[in-house]
């Protein structure tokens, strides 16, 4: 009988902090990061207890892809703001190098948002793989439902309704973690799928 109690607790607290921590003034980002770390610990523990490395591997890929997407979007977003301000300055030799037409700038901004959207969709695909495995191995189908809603929400973030769907998926994820049994009643298979 393996103990899932810690993983369940880490997952519940981590997912609550990840969803609602950002709304707390001044400490929101720190709570979001703390929640993410707790969720990573929960998924890692579940992966080890179930002897299925793919659960953690797919979850980690999902997190890395999302973080890379957000960081690259921030970097290119700041660069585009610099270019906007530089093109508004009086013409000089430096400014003529950085000068963009407004249409070109819009295309650049659209490309940045497209990259962010693609990374969200890819991240949701890996999250779905991880949560589907957890759902089947733990017999908690809410993980699969949450992952499917994450994927649908990520695809639809291009329309604003996707953010609402992702929020609902996040709430379901909290409930899914709370439905994890505290102990494994049967020996997990040694399959690494």
pLDDT level of residue 102 (50, 70, 90 thresholds)? low
- How much is the pLDDT for 192? 46
The region of weakest confidence among 90-99, 118-127, 181-190 is: 90-99
Residues facing residue 147 across a β-bridge: none
More confident of the two residues 150 and 189: 150
Residue with tokens 């609902």: 168
CA distance 89 to 170: 44
| Residue 59, both tokens | 């979850």
pLDDT in tens, 38-62: 999 999 999 999 999 999 999 999 9
Torsion of Cα atoms, 109 then 111 then 113 then 116, to 10°: -140
Report the chain's mean pLDDT, rounded to a whole number.
84
Q: What 3-state class would DSSP assign to 140?
A: coil
Does the pLDDT at position 178 exceed 70? yes
pLDDT at position 103: 64
- Which tens digit of pLDDT belongs to each residue from 129-177? 999 999 999 999 999 999 999 999 999 998 889 999 999 999 999 999 9
């Amino acid at each position: 009988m393996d103990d899932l109690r810690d993983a369940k607790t880490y997952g519940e607290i981590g997912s609550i902090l990840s969803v609602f921590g950002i709304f707390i003034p001044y400490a929101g980002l720190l709570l979001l990061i703390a929640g993410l770390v707790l969720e990573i610990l929960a998924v890692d523990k579940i992966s080890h207890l179930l002897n299925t490395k793919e659960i953690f591997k797919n979850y980690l890929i999902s997190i890395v892809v999302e973080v890379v997407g957000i960081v690259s979007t921030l970097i290119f977003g700041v660069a585009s703001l610099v270019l906007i301000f530089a093109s508004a300055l009086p013409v000089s030799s430096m400014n003529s190098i950085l000068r963009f037409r407004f249409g070109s700038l819009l295309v650049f901004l659209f490309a940045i948002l497209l990259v962010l959207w693609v990374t969200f969709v890819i991240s949701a695909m890996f999250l779905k793989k991880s949560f589907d495995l957890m759902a089947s191995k733990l017999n908690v189908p809410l993980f699969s439902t949450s992952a499917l809603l994450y994927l649908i929400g990520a695809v639809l973030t291009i329309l604003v309704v996707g953010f609402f769907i992702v929020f609902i998926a996040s709430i379901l994820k909290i409930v899914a973690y709370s439905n994890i049994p505290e102990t494994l009643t049967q020996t997990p298979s040694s399959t690494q799928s």
